[in-house]
Amino acid sequence: MIDFWEILGRAVTDDGFRNKMYDAFAKTEPKPNPNERNKYACMFANVDYDSARELVVAKMGPVSLMGLGEWLVVSALHPKSRALLNNTAGIVQQILHGYNSTSPVFYQTLGASIVDSGFRDKFNAESESDYGFVLSSADRAALTPVVSDGAFGLECDKFHELAWDEACKDMVIQSQGEPYAHALEVAFEP
């Protein structure tokens, strides 16, 4: 999950990267799962996954299938997610004033703040290290006004409600190539 948080953090600080990641799965549509034991599923083409993986590897290094699977949930399964994440990105970029970090933890912290209001509360209480997030003083100073911003919190809550409550909890992702089940106990059977 931490690599997904990093993808998300990098996506809201880099418009080009975010748009390319959304476009990587732009043609993916939820389709009926041939495995009747799991009616909440969609299939994605291997070429879409490979395109997204190439973007992430170039940006931050190796990424898990789970991380890209979570990105597929965000990008493809709810039509409003792109606009909501664009709104979040606008808020983040305005507050950061062009600040960039070389630390993956900066982007992981930002991504976790987007999807988890409890983590935002911990960060705002200066207790993110309880979760293993150790930031430089410069990175923490840059993120503090972002994570404590009310408009940021409201957009994050909207994004979370759609991307997780309506998409992630109700959909399952499986690839066509090497069958992989997300949140499934029963493997895909062609």
pLDDT tens-digit profile of 75-100? 666 677 889 999 999 999 999 999 99
- Closest by CA to 146, choosing from 103, 88, 86, is 88
- What pLDDT score does 35 carry? 55
Angle between helices 46-60 and 65-76 (to 10 degrees): 110
Q: Is residue 161 part of a domain?
A: yes
d(CA 60, CA 130): 24
Provide block-wise average pLDDT over 10 residues at a time, the chain (190 residues). Answer: 90 95 73 52 72 91 81 69 93 97 97 90 93 95 98 92 60 44 37
* pLDDT at position 178: 45
Report pLDDT for 177. Answer: 46
Distance (Å, whole) CA 61 – CA 58 = 6
Return phi, psi of residue 133, to 5°. Answer: -90, 115
Is residue 182 a part of any domain in this protein? Answer: no
Q: How far apart are CA 35 and CA 179, in angstroms?
A: 12
Token pair recorded at residue 121 = 């509360």
Q: How much is the mean pLDDT over the chain?
A: 80
65 and 1 Cβ atoms separated by less than 8 Å? no
pLDDT in the model for residue 167: 52
| Residue 11 and residue 18 in contact, taking contact as beta carbons nearer than 8 Å | yes
Report yes or no on 90 lying in a domain: yes
Q: How many domains is the chain built from?
A: 1
Which pLDDT score is estimated for 188?
35
Tokens of 63: 């990424």
Domain extent, residue 47, equals 2-175
- Supply the pLDDT for residue 27: 65
The pLDDT value recorded for residue 69 is 76
